[in-house]
Amino acid sequence: MKAELPAVTLPGGRQVPALGLGTWHMGEGYASPDEEVASLRAGLDLGMTVIDTAEMYADGGAEEVVGEAIRGRRDEVFLVSKVLPYNASRAGTIAACEASLKRLGTDHIELYLLHWRGRYPLAETVEAFETLKAQGKIGAWGVSNFDEPDMKELLGAAEPSRPAANQVLYNLARRGIEFDLLRWSQVQGIPIMAYSPLDEGRLIGHPALEEIGLVHNASSAQVALAFLLTKAGVIAIPKSGSPERVRENLRAAEIRLTSEDLRLLDAAFPPPTRKRPLEMI
Ligand code: NDP
């Protein structure tokens, strides 16, 4: 049975669930590919239809895992992939996207992101994104690891086109964007995709999360994800290579954190009081 997942509205009006599926480290050979495919399918079964991947992950191996997972059910999925900055020239972006499409076994990607800023002018990458959009190979484009000044520069360089999302590091232990970028993005209507929402697993078992979890009969992972689900315009993309843990993560959507819970979280993970440069992994 599919749980009621909160939704985030993308520029253009399409709604996607606020809890998706990450894929970094998939396809690297540490876990069984069958188990990784099963994890992504378990997420899709539950309505976690945003799948985030990148040409970088396992040198394309993660995209191949995703391709296998979505075979026969492409229409259910909102696919996100990323071009490396070294490939983000006009011709390079198009070639990278076409290679990703091949590995993913599909003819389009819903949202295609610049993984982080590199040496190519933003206007050049955006021009390539717009070409891909006109060709129907991508539905929308966005960026990743862009701080507020980068975003402002991007809006100027891309005009009249606009990014559909900015994917950044955001979790309870890394709350820097709450000082500025989060609010700015909400005002602009540009969703934030929160990567490493469990701080790469480091939040698991944190005493403050365990304590709050006791009241809600929830795990520390669920509390960490529930916190992000309280934020408007934020899509969290936890990665798990275990179907069981994917199901566990989904149940974060059932938790209603109280103001007392949020106060305890602020005490354990203080929100920022000054500007800090955007952290990235
Ligand atoms: P996460 O914060 O999602 O943590 C993933 C780790 O937590 C894994 O080790 C996973 O192990 C474990 N885990 C997941 N769920 C549970 C659970 N319920 N209980 C216990 N452990 C759990 O880290 P990621 O860095 O993977 O971030 C998520 C996604 O964000 C990435 O996969 C990628 O798609 C994206 N990303 C984007 C970046 C960018 O620059 N744009 C940078 C980094 C990430 P297991 O698999 O064994 O369950």
DSSP 27-39: TSSSS-HHHHHHH
pLDDT at position 3, please? 59
Q: How far apart are CA 170 and CA 177, in angstroms?
A: 7
H/E element, 162 = none
pLDDT at position 23, please? 98
Please check the confidence at residue 4 and state whether its pLDDT lies above 90. no
In angstroms, the Cα distances linking 241 to 27, 46, 105, 195 are 10, 15, 21, 16
Ligand 1 proximity of 63 Cβ (cutoff 6 Å): no
Sign of the torsion angle spanned by Cα atoms 60, 66, 70, 76:
negative
Tell me the per-residue pLDDT of 85-95, one tens digit each, with 9 for 90 and over: 999 999 999 99
57 in catalytic set: yes
Please check the confidence at residue 55 and state whether its pLDDT lies above 90. yes
Tell me the per-residue pLDDT of 134-148, one tens digit each, with 9 for 90 and over: 999 999 999 999 999
Mean pLDDT calculated for residue range 235-241? 98
Ligand 1 proximity of 124 Cβ (cutoff 6 Å): no
Please check the confidence at residue 2 and state whether its pLDDT lies above 90. no
pLDDT at position 20, please? 98
Ligand 1 proximity of 24 Cβ (cutoff 6 Å): yes
Look at ligand 1, atom 9, and give the residue with the nearest C-alpha. Answer: 201
Mean pLDDT calculated for residue range 60-71? 98
pLDDT-derived band of residue 1, with 50, 70 and 90 as boundaries? very low
In angstroms, the Cα distances linking 129 to 9, 141, 162 are 21, 6, 11
Coil, helix or strand at residue 5: coil
Global ipTM: 0.99
Ligand 1 proximity of 195 Cβ (cutoff 6 Å): yes
115 is in an annotated binding site: yes
How many angstroms is it from 243 CA to the middle of ligand 1? 14
How many angstroms is it from 275 CA to the middle of ligand 1? 26
Tell me the per-residue pLDDT of 105-156, one tens digit each, with 9 for 90 and over: 999 999 999 999 999 999 999 999 999 999 999 999 999 999 999 999 999 9
Look at ligand 1, atom 29, and give the residue with the nearest C-alpha. Answer: 22
How many angstroms is it from 246 CA to the middle of ligand 1? 11
Which of 151, 78, 139, 144 shows the shortest CA–CA distance to 114?
144
pLDDT at position 257, please? 98
**φ, ψ of residue 42 in degrees (nearest 5):** -60, -40
Tell me the per-residue pLDDT of 144-188, one tens digit each, with 9 for 90 and over: 999 999 999 999 999 999 999 999 999 999 999 999 999 999 999
For a mutational test of ligand 1's pocket, the pick from 65, 239, 251, 280, i.e. the residue with the most ligand atoms closer than 8 A to its C-beta, is: 239
Q: What percent of the chain has pLDDT over 70?
A: 99
- What does the DSSP 8-state code read for residue 235? E
How many angstroms is it from 159 CA to the middle of ligand 1? 34
Please check the confidence at residue 60 and state whether its pLDDT lies above 90. yes
**Marked catalytic residue, from 57, 112, 120, 195:** 57
Ligand 1 proximity of 121 Cβ (cutoff 6 Å): no
Strand-pair category, 192-195 with 166-169: parallel
Global confidence as pTM: 0.98
**φ, ψ of residue 154 in degrees (nearest 5):** -60, -45
Q: How far apart are CA 135 and CA 60, in angstroms?
A: 22
In angstroms, the Cα distances linking 18 to 15, 39, 48, 191, 193 are 9, 18, 8, 10, 9
Does 3.20.20.100 match the CATH number of domain 16-202+233-249?
Answer: yes
Q: What is the average pLDDT score of the chain?
A: 97
